[in-house]
Amino acid sequence: MVEAHRTFVIVGGGLAGAKAAETLRAEGFTGRVILICDERDHPYERPPLSKGYLLGKEERDSVFVHEPAWYAGADIELHLGQPAVRLDPEARTVRLGDGTLIVYDKLLLATGAEPRRLDVPGTGLAGVHHLRRLAHAERLRGVLASLGRDNGHLVIAGAGWIGLEVAAAARSYGAEVTVVETAPTPLHAALGPELGDLFGDLHREHGVRFHFGARLTEIVGQDGMVLAVRTDDGEEHPAHAVLAAIGAAPRASLAEQAGLALVDRYDGGGIAVDATLRTSDPHIYAAGDVAAADHPALGTRIRVEHWANALNGGPAAARAMLGQEVTYDRVPYFFSDQYDVGMEYSGYAPPGSYDQVVCRGDVAKREFIAFWLREGRLLAGMNVNVWDVTAPIQQLIRSGHPLDATALADPEVPLESLLP
């Protein structure tokens, strides 16, 4: 078929979807590109929603992937404010909420993830918040400012990245902050117990209170307003607002309804894709937060909920849709900023996967690199207030080369010199 007559549809207008559309055009695709998103805003990036934008340091306009006019210029047909409600792989059609039926040649699912909800009494109260969308951040920004003015209390359920970044933002507004977390340290699932508490100390120094090993069981309210939260160990914390930051679930219902292969939720969930980001249907691809991809370099299937994976996965899927040879094997990468501490993490080392943690630099001053190893091989590295080391860290991970822990810990030994 002549390419100009082909229609490529992208469901989901986040970073992965927008970058896929951009790549289709950059690679010279002349057919129709249709981008469908249930949000009314043009595609935007989410990291500022818990950092610069939430802190009031970045303007609303700065979060968008492209200016609105860019889409018309690139001849990308936008259906904003429209959910895709039904996908029929046999007929190769997708139906929108307003009834529109679109026939596709190839389709990309870039439907992202959504915040997990607290399943406790009181979640319907006006002061209970989530943070995923621009509208959530707009609202939360106002809430933090008024809590700061009135000496109000914010309780955050969950000491993951988003919970901690919002804690930092809330403190900068002057709000009182308590974080309730079931695990014994912050960021336990991401960094393990060895490094997680480093972020605990950082937040304590800024006046954040933690309540670890406890589950939030009730949000107490009066006249529709939040008054306090209760935890399963019988404690009560005052609260004027609550943020549920207990993780995100992949938005895979469209794929599920279409009969595509999914990953069990206990294995991380998401749409199962191969290393070319193709689903179990040869005409449908998936990328970004929703995709659980076979990772050739890590030798496992992995679903990555981070910015860089959307930034690179969307374009990789677009190239695969165009029939190019693609192996998506990027080393997972993410970053975070809290107060004056910036960090980058490369690799994959969940608790239980590593047998050694080595640090180089000054941990007490929060200027160091942490390395997670298994049998002397590097699984992951995190640089904290140390910059321009991502490339050698990722090369060391990729090499699978056994490393000398003493050399790794020595700041005088250039990381590059440890490469085989």
Ligand X SMILES: Cc1cc2nc3c(=O)[nH]c(=O)nc-3n(C[C@H](O)[C@H](O)[C@H](O)COP(=O)(O)OP(=O)(O)OC[C@H]3O[C@@H](n4cnc5c(N)ncnc54)[C@H](O)[C@@H]3O)c2cc1C
Contact positions vs ligand X (CB under 6 A): 11-17, 36-39, 46-47, 49-50, 83-84, 110-113, 131-132, 162, 251, 254, 288-289, 305-308, 310, 334-336
- Least distance to ligand X from the beta carbon of 377, Å? 24
Q: Which is nearer to ligand X, 111 or 231 (CB)?
A: 111
Closest CB to ligand X among residues 248, 396: 248
Strands 32-37 and 7-11, by their bridges, are parallel
The nearer residue to ligand X, 221 or 313, going by C-beta atoms, is 313
DSSP type of residue 284: E
For residue 108, the surrounding DSSP H or E stretch is strand 106-109
Strand partners, 268: none
SS3 label, residue 378: strand
Tell me how far apart the alpha carbons of residues 109 and 135 are, in angstroms, rounded to a whole number. Answer: 23
- Whose Cβ is closer to ligand X: residue 63's or residue 155's? 63
Min separation Cβ 238 and ligand X, Å: 25
Nearer CB in complex with ligand X: 230/303? 303
148: Cα separation from own chain's centroid: 27
Please report the beta strands in 193-350, taking only residues with DSSP state E, as ranges in sequence order. 209-212, 216-222, 225-231, 236-238, 241-244, 248-250, 271-273, 284-286, 291-295, 300-303, 333-338, 341-347
Which phi-psi region, left, alpha or beta, contains residue 336 (left: φ > 0; alpha: ψ -120 to 50)?
Answer: beta
The least CB distance from residue 404 to ligand X, in Å, is 30
CA 280 to chain centre: 24
Distance of closest approach, residue 323 Cβ to ligand X, in angstroms: 23
State which H helix or E strand residue 20 sits in: helix 15-26
Phi, psi dihedrals of residue 121, rounded to the nearest 5°: -60, 140
Nearest approach in angstroms of CB 261 to ligand X is: 18
Nearer to ligand X, 181 or 237 (CB): 181
Shortest distance in whole angstroms from residue 411 CB to ligand X: 26
Give the count of alpha carbons within 13 A of 311, CB side only: 12
9 close to 321: Cβ distance less than 8 angstroms:
no
Q: Which is nearer to ligand X, 98 or 264 (CB)?
A: 98
Distance CA 360, CA 368 (A): 6
Could you tell me the smallest distance in angstroms from the CB atom of residue 344 to ligand X?
9
Q: Is 224 helix (H, G, I), strand (E, B) or coil?
A: coil
Query: What is the smallest separation between the CB atom of 170 and ligand X, expressed in angstroms?
Result: 14
Q: How far is the CB of 288 from ligand X (least distance, A)?
A: 2
Q: How far apart are CA 277 and CA 275, in angstroms?
A: 5
Q: Which is nearer to ligand X, 210 or 334 (CB)?
A: 334
Residue 349 three-state SS = coil
Residue 132 vs 278, nearer CB to ligand X: 132
- The conformation of residue 31, written as its DSSP 8-state character, comes to S
Q: What minimum distance in Å lies between the beta carbon of 313 and ligand X?
A: 7
Taking the least distance from each CB to ligand X, the nearer of 78 and 322 is: 78
- Determine the Cα–Cα distance for residues 216 and 232; give it in Å rounded to an integer: 6
